[in-house]
Structure 1
Amino acid sequence: MSKVNILKLLSKKQQQEKFAMVTCYDASFAKLVEKAGIETILVGDSLGMVLQGRDSTLAVTIDDMAYHTASVARGCQQPLIISDMPFGSYNHPQQCADNAATLMRAGAHMVKIEGGSWLAESICLLNQAGIPVCCHLGLTPQSVNVLGGYRVQGRDDSQAKAILNDAIALEAAGAAMLVLECVPRQLAAEISSTLKIPVVGIGAGCDTDAQVLVLHDLLGITEKTARFVRNFAEGSNSIEDALKRYNSAVLDGSFPTDEHSFN
């Protein structure tokens, strides 16, 4: 696998080639992810729940994210590393730029932020500072208290239209990638076909340009997982084998299926 950058991922979208992403939080797993051929790693603020044992991502700090981003960066050479901006770290553009720079210095190649068109000014500022941005729409875990829980978003027409409009606005502002979480398959397909940038799905059906899963979920470590998760460790003889099976299933389109999607 050659060094992955955003231009390579854009080319994959243009050629209708899928790619896989997995969350990862340390050097040991990052090395296995790379050996499995997975091209993108998300250092997710999901570490608050997966590693720290919390009931949400809200307590994760920028220092937490920088620590785990640096750990992942030391463990691999080729994958594109995306690091989550945690809750409260990008409330205004300059704060966003300062904290994003911290994550880039730690080893990230791109940062991810949750929210809609209100982020446009911050995205522009980050691009000017040489920081690529991945945005996140649909179920945005940092907004769980506003959303009333971890629920599918975009099922009614007005909400679906708002998510689509936000996606278009974020791309226009300079977003380089978009994650769609827990939205109906039809909406994810429309957004993916509308945008020129790669769209990564999680619980968003099979029509996005890529898929992402939490490492501990796809390895069957998490006790209770969401509908969109498949345990790739079942029938595998190693963690690396499970990761290879996940990567292959994403690339050949056999994951996710209808049972992992929402209507």
Structure 2
Amino acid sequence: MNTPLAQAAAIRSRKGGKPIAMLTAYDYPTARTLDEAGVDILLVGDSLGMVVLGYPDTTHVTLAHMLHHGEAVARAAKRALVVVDLPINTYDTPEQALDTARKLVAAGAGAVKLEGGCDKEAHIAAITAAGIPVMGHIGLLPQNVLKEGGYKMKGKTDAEIAQLHADAQAVAHAGAFSTVIECTRADTARSITEACPIPTIGIGSGKNCCDGEVAVISDLVGAFPWFVPAFVQPRAHIAESITEAAQAWMRDVQGE
């Protein structure tokens, strides 16, 4: 049986091998399309706060939001591993982290993801001990954006590099099957990947510097044209197509 634990183990086994492809999904039709396309992992990211719900950052996302969207994606996935983010303030202690993870699994998540390294080692260990696969997230932590005063590239100083290496090792030691490395200097991301025993999945951390890549689906297909990260190369322009279709339909309806 292709259980979430087996799926996570299969991803773990690809360390240094075939690159891992992970895309975000927040709704049934997108998730079904990506699942049928063969994407390895569907991430129900708290990035939905911006690209779906219109918030300025992820700090406004609640557990109710993640449960709602996680359920929709889980209904669609037949082969991909579904990973759901633990939203801010839902994993302040190991006990709370496990409780939140269990709620997400009950909603259909195959695995969960949380932000942090050394400071979250006990939290990850508590979840994995309960048989729930965990994906780590180090480097730039979007849930800390208000504390840090913006989105800042990581891994530029010796102290930051040392801390990131320690974070990656802590996440692996706690039992995570992989970890995201976000917006970290390419040379730092590469050195972490070489030293880390579990797969690393990069976003904004250089090309071919990690064991895989993740992208926000809205960025990839041009569905959110109001802001596109500098490191993203859109492969489609969905927003333009929607505008053109709507305008063509209005002309037809209005007899123009």
TM-score normalised over the length of structure 1: 0.85
Q: Does 1:232 align with 2:251?
A: no
Alignment-derived partner of residue 156 in structure 1: 157
Q: Secondary structure at the match of 1:230?
A: coil
Alignment-derived partner of residue 86 in structure 1: 87
Letter in 2 for 1:232: R
Report the CA distance between 1:135 and its aligned residue: 1.0
Letter in 1 for 2:64: D
Unmatched segments (≥5 aa) in structure 1 = 239-263
Alignment-derived partner of residue 187 in structure 2: 186
CA distance in 1, matches of 2:235, 2:27: 20
Letter in 1 for 2:59: L
Give the share of equivalent positions with the same residue, in percent: 38
What does 1:56-135 align with in structure 2 at a 5 Å threshold?
56-135=57-136
Letter in 1 for 2:9: L
Q: Secondary structure at the match of 1:115?
A: coil
CA distance in 2, matches of 1:232, 1:176: 29
Q: Does 1:207 align with 2:209?
A: yes
CA distance in 1, matches of 2:155, 2:147: 15
CA distance in 2, matches of 1:51, 1:234: 17
CA distance in 2, matches of 1:116, 1:75: 31
Alignment-derived partner of residue 8 in structure 2: 6
Unmatched segments (≥5 aa) in structure 2 = 242-256
Letter in 2 for 1:219: V
Q: Does 1:25 align with 2:39?
A: no
CA distance in 2, matches of 1:227, 1:83: 25
* Superposed CA offset, 1:224-257 (max 9, x none): 211111101169xx9xxxxxxxxxxxxxxxxxxx
Alpha-carbon RMSD: 1.8
Letter in 2 for 1:5: Q
CA distance in 1, matches of 2:14, 2:35: 18
State whether residues 12 and 178 of structure 2, in contact with CA within 8 Å, keep that contact through their aligned partners in structure 1.
no
Alignment-derived partner of residue 250 in structure 1: none
Report the CA distance between 1:102 and its aligned residue: 0.4
Alignment-derived partner of residue 246 in structure 1: none
Q: Secondary structure at the match of 1:142?
A: helix
Report the CA distance between 1:11 and its aligned residue: 2.4
Letter in 2 for 1:123: I
Report the CA distance between 1:173 and its aligned residue: 1.6
Alignment-derived partner of residue 145 in structure 1: 146
Letter in 1 for 2:209: D
CA distance in 2, matches of 1:18, 1:143: 28
Q: Does 1:49 align with 2:50?
A: yes
- Give the paired residue count: 235
Runs of 4+ aligned residues of structure 1 deviating over 6 Å after TM superposition are none
